[in-house]
Amino acid sequence: MIGGVLGAIAVVFVLLVIGGALLANATRTSTTSPVAVPTYDSATPEARPTATEVLPRPTRGTTGTDRDTSTRPDTTTRPSRPARNTTLTRNSLYLAGTLPRTNCRGRATNVYNDAQLKALILATSTCMNRTWSSALGKVGIPFSPPGYAVTARGGRGACGDFPHKGSIVPYYCPRNATIYASTSAMADGTGRQRGYASLSNWHGAFTAMFAHEYGHHVQHLSGLEDSWWSKTLASRSSSGKLGLSRRYELQANCLSGLWMRSVAASYPITSARRNTLYYFFSNVGDWPGYPRDHGSPPNSGRWFRQGYERVKTFQCNTWLASASSTS
């Protein structure tokens, strides 16, 4: 587990947020181009096992004289299942396939109303629990739900203040597996940062943002988080660390797209609302003057769209993608 290594550098590399400044309020039509990230043919990029996988061993049969074992219990060792893979490129999460359809109706919500927005966040979180517990259980990844600390004005949690100074974004804290958020900061903005409602005041956009944060919880449970952090610590350059951070964040965008597609029929998400989500995610990310740790706005939108349109978990393998699609 990451545990003690987070420490003082948690602000830079463990604030798992959609983040970045918002684009000036533009026309609300989808400007995203067709998906420009990989379409994978298989959940496994290679045929050979990695060091973290255990191939089934042949059982040792009896030899010598025949014995009557009809009244004895069968003590033959059965082939073991492959061990859970926690690596970045071949993680067991990629074997989960399409997320199960979940009945999750979005409630009418005024995103400027703190109580209503908090109620929406908590209600949809139970839907996310149902979806991901089923998907992760299918591939042997133990599930536990994240915690939520959602307040109107913010506060202080295990990873520091929320929102952070000059920020509006919610974030996932791996220290206590909790998602922190200030509803007023998200909707209205703070200081010179405009709120997310300047991009869309449809509650589904806010639900998708929390599906991104939930995606970080999935990364935490699956071991992707630990593998990413270990590689980050091993990187000797700031550009290398930022590149890893972008792949990590863009993967959470893709997982958000997967989940939003799984509830599209019940939420509901019409084609027009789907385009709203594409627009929303294509206008958050790394802007001039901010660290390049979340991915460019176009790539932010493309990876959300990748999850929404490709629908299988292995399509969210940002670790195999090109540098240009994770810039």
Q: Comparing 100-104, 145-149, 189-193, which segment has the lowest mean pLDDT?
A: 189-193
Looking at residue 142, its amino acid is P
Phi, psi dihedrals of residue 172, rounded to the nearest 5°: -100, 130
Whether 61 shows a pLDDT value over 50: the answer reads no
- 66 vs 267 pLDDT, higher one: 267
Whether 24 shows a pLDDT value over 80: the answer reads no
**Residue 102 in contact with residue 125, Cβ under 8 Å?**
no
Strands 193-194 and 147-151: unpaired
pLDDT digits (tens, 9 = 90+) for 104-140: 999 999 999 999 999 999 999 999 999 999 999 999 9
Q: What letter would DSSP give residue 156?
A: E
| Three-state SS letters, 158-207 | CCEEECCCCCCCCEEECCCCEEEEEHHHHHHEECCEECHHHCCCCHHHHH
SS3 of 128, please?
A: helix
DSSP conformation letters of 52-78:
T--PPPPP----SS----TTS---PPP
Characterise 186 by phi-psi region: left (phi > 0), alpha (psi -120 to 50), beta (else): alpha
Mean pLDDT, residues 217-237 = 98
Whether 299 shows a pLDDT value over 90: the answer reads yes
Q: Which of 1-10, 74-83, 294-303 has the highest mean pLDDT?
A: 294-303
| Residue 141 token pair | 């990844």
